[in-house]
């Protein structure tokens, strides 16, 4: 476990030594010259940095946050280290699993607990509806042959049967551009009614605020990738999924500890300039870092706030300016008593109210143990929360949760709250593609610009999520090796 902890030098950087550099004399600031500067200490940036370091290049990593991990964050103060970002990964995440093995991060097999996540209570308009009651419920809008399907599973099953993409990276194939319409329009073309779309997707949207915001082509890519991962898990006969010991943040932390130079934390990049055979990275504290090449791993929602000289142009510029990151909030709870034993309901919930989805985390000594609970708030509800003080928004969520589960009153406490939109170094979580965007610039975002190379999960074309981040970092590193 010691290998997955931050080393002393990195911790000292997090305590605020970085700004000292801005006041240092020019002779000291000259030490900021290296072969490659990587912006962002998430999976993509660290993977590229380690690949380049392995090829003998001098690499420095800059990170705006006071921690390693980017959008992978584990709550170490909560039992079971629940994840704020990057919840779990499949055995088919080959690059990520290899990084765990290479850098000494232990893996936790999730096979025994996976079944618990598929069981949940359906609560609509405050009414608990059992699976037995659901097919004949007046609130069930699904067609006759699908009325037995629960709202959280029907779209996945439909996509698995009707996905026109035969392989994951087919989403960027021009011959499939005609699917780059809204998810709503595609579902309507396949005879879905508005009420079904509203319940199955808009109630707890995974991308955008509603099915109108999400490209059907992106959703097909997501479905194809998930299908491949399921096939790999079944064919391997091994684990159905993993998390890392100590939380998934242990993975980027271990990767960072393998770097020769400690990650420069608390270093907010404000500009990148390519000039005279060299690149310069300008930071908010006045420091300037120089290198032959720069790899930038920040999401578009943040990248568009960084001044780039010479400026981006064409589809790439349009993509950086318009690609959004998902608005999603989380409230983490610890139960002082198992209230679900009192009300006889599953701790997991799917509802059409503010506390949209509740997930019981099973990271205790035994698979059945509930170590904590996560309330996921998505779409318009998450956007509303981001307009309110934390005290107001979290109280509203808890009031809604307790109205549905009164047995939990006095038996749960809030131990963590996260708004990804309010995180200035991500301004949202995963990227989502709106109708028309995939065919317009999906293959353009990752292209190099002068001496700048781009990575991040939004630039991956064959994988999604954490594995997509690793894929993109690998590509950026190879680009640099071919140009330096």
- With a pLDDT cut of 70, the percent of the chain lying above it is 94
Among residues 258, 169, 175, 208, the alpha carbon closest in space to that of 467 is found at 169
Neighbouring C-alpha atoms within 13 Å toward the C-beta of 352: 18
Reading the block at residue 276, the tokens are 């005279």
- 393-437, pLDDT tens digit by residue? 999 999 999 999 999 999 999 999 999 999 999 999 999 999 999
Q: Residues 136, 140, 141, 144: is their CA dihedral positive or negative? A: negative
Task: Tell me the average pLDDT of the chain.
Answer: 93
How far apart CA 57 and CA 476 sit, in angstroms, is 14
293 strand-pairing partners: 36
Residue recorded with tokens 């940095």: 49
Note the pLDDT of residue 25: 42
Cβ atoms within 10 A of the Cβ of 335, count?
17
What SS3 string covers 184-220? HHHHHHCCCCHHHHHHHHHCCCCCCCCCCCCEHHHHH
Render pLDDT for 355-396 as a digit per residue (tens, 0 to 9): 999 999 999 999 999 999 999 999 999 999 999 999 999 999
- Token digits for 122? 């359906």
* Highest mean predicted confidence (pLDDT) among 5-9, 22-26, 95-99: 95-99
Q: At what angle do helices 43-54 and 94-102 cross, to 10 degrees?
A: 60
| Cβ-based neighbour number of residue 341 at 10 Å | 10
Q: What is the topology classification, in CATH, of domain 2-71+245-324+441-483? A: FAD/NAD(P)-binding domain (3.50.50)
User: Is residue 21 very low, low, confident or very high in pLDDT (cuts 50, 70, 90)?
Assistant: very low
Read off the pLDDT of residues 101-150 as tens digits, 9 standing for 90 and up. 999 999 999 999 999 999 999 999 999 999 999 999 999 999 999 999 99
pLDDT of 35 above 90? yes
- Cα–Cα distance for residue pair 295/401, rounded to 1 Å: 43
Residues 6+ apart with CB under 8 A from 433: 207, 214, 215, 217, 218, 323, 442
- What global pTM score does this model have? 0.92
Q: Which residue has the higher pLDDT, 2 or 121?
A: 121
User: Per-residue pLDDT averaged across 190-200, rounded?
Assistant: 98
Cβ(420)–Cβ(65) under 8 Å? no
Cα–Cα distance for residue pair 450/447, rounded to 1 Å? 10
Which tokens sit at 353? 């109210």
The C-alpha angle with vertex 12 and arms to 8 and 18, in degrees rounded to 5, equals 140
Q: Which residue has the higher pLDDT, 354 or 32?
A: 354
With beta carbons less than 8 A apart as the criterion, state whether 374 and 331 touch. yes
Beta 288-296 vs 452-454: how paired, if at all?
Answer: parallel
**Tokens 């908010």 sit at which residue?**
284
Do residues 319 and 458 make contact, with C-beta atoms less than 8 angstroms apart?
Answer: no
Q: Which of 70, 99, 85, 67 is nearest to 455 (CA)?
A: 70
pLDDT of 235: 87
- Cβ-contact 463, 443 below 8 angstroms: no
* 199 in Cβ contact with 352 (< 8 Å): yes
Determine the Cα–Cα distance for residues 340 and 367; give it in Å rounded to an integer: 16
357-361 and 73-74: which strand pairing? unpaired
Give the residue extent of every domain in the chain: 2-71+245-324+441-483
Residue 351, pLDDT > 80, answer: yes
Token pair listed for 377:
């708030």
Determine the pLDDT at residue 52.
98
Using pLDDT thresholds of 50, 70 and 90, give the confidence band for residue 13.
Answer: very low
Which of 447, 451, 449 minimizes the C-alpha distance to 472? 447
| pLDDT confidence of residue 18 | 34
Q: How far apart are CA 207 and CA 202, in angstroms?
A: 10
pLDDT at 14: 36
Measured in degrees and rounded to the nearest 5, phi and psi for residue 396 equal -60, -40
The dihedral built from the CA positions of residue 254, 260, 266 and 272, taken in this order, carries a sign that is: negative
pLDDT tens-digit map of 288-330: 999 999 999 999 999 999 999 999 999 999 999 999 999 999 9
What is the distance in angstroms between the CA of the first residue and the CA of the last residue of the chain? 36
pLDDT of the residue at 298: 98
Cα dihedral: 219, 222, 227, 233 (round 10): -160
Rounded Cα distance between 117 and 347, Å, is 10
* Distance of alpha carbon 478 from alpha carbon 484, whole angstroms: 10
Burial of 43 (C-beta count, 10 Å sphere; 0-12/13-18/19+): buried
**H or E stretch covering 28:** helix 26-29
Distance separating alpha carbons of residues 167 and 210, to the nearest angstrom: 26
């Amino acid at each position: 476990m010691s290998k997955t902890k931050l080393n002393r030098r990195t911790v000292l950087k997090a305590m605020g030594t970085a700004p000292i550099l801005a006041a240092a004399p020019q002779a000291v600031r000259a030490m900021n010259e290296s072969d490659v500067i990587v912006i962002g200490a998430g999976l993509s940036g660290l993977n590229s940095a380690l690949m380049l370091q392995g090829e003998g290049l001098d690499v420095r990593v800059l990170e705006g946050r006071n921690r390693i991990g980017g959008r992978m964050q584990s709550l170490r103060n909560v039992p079971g280290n629940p994840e704020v970002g990057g919840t779990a990964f499949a055995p088919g995440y080959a690059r990520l699993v290899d990084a765990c093995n290479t850098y000494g991060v232990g893996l936790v097999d999730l096979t025994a607990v996976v079944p618990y996540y598929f069981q949940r209570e359906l609560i609509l308009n405050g009414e608990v509806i059992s699976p037995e009651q659901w097919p004949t419920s007046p609130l069930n809008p699904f067609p006759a042959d699908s009325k037995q399907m629960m709202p959280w599973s029907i779209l996945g099953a439909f996509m698995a049967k009707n996905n026109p993409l035969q392989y994951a990276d087919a989403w960027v194939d021009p011959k499939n551009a005609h699917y780059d319409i809204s998810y709503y329009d595609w579902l309507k073309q396949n005879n879905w009614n508005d009420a079904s779309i509203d319940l199955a997707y808009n109630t707890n949207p995974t991308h955008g605020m509603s099915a109108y915001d999400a490209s059907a082509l992106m959703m097909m890519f997501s479905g194809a990738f998930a299908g491949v991962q399921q096939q790999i898990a079944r064919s391997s006969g091994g684990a159905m999924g993993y998390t890392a010991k100590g939380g998934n943040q242990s993975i980027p932390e271990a990767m960072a500890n393998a770097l020769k130079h400690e990650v420069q934390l608390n270093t907010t990049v404000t500009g990148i300039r390519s000039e005279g055979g060299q690149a310069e990275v300008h930071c908010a504290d006045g420091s300037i870092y120089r290198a032959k090449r720069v790899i930038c791993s920040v999401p578009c929602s943040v990248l568009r706030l960084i001044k780039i000289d010479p400026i981006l142009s064409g589809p790439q510029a349009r993509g950086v300016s318009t690609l959004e990151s998902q608005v999603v909030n989380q409230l983490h709870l610890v139960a002082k008593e198992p209230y679900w034993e009192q009300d006889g309901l599953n701790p997991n919930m799917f509802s059409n109210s503010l506390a949209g989805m509740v997930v019981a985390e099973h990271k205790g000594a035994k698979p059945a143990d509930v170590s904590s609970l996560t309330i996921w708030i998505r779409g318009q509800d998450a956007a509303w929360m981001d307009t309110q003080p934390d005290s107001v928004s979290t109280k509203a969520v808890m009031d809604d949760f307790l109205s549905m589960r009164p047995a939990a009153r006095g038996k749960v406490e809030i131990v963590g709250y996260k708004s990804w939109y309010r995180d200035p170094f991500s301004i949202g979580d995963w990227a989502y593609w709106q109708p028309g965007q995939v065919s317009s610039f999906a293959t353009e975002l990752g292209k190099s610009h002068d001496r700048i190379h781009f990575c991040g999960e939004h630039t991956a074309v064959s994988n999604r999520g954490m594995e997509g981040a690793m894929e993109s970092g690998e590509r950026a590193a190879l680009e640099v090796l071919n140009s330096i």
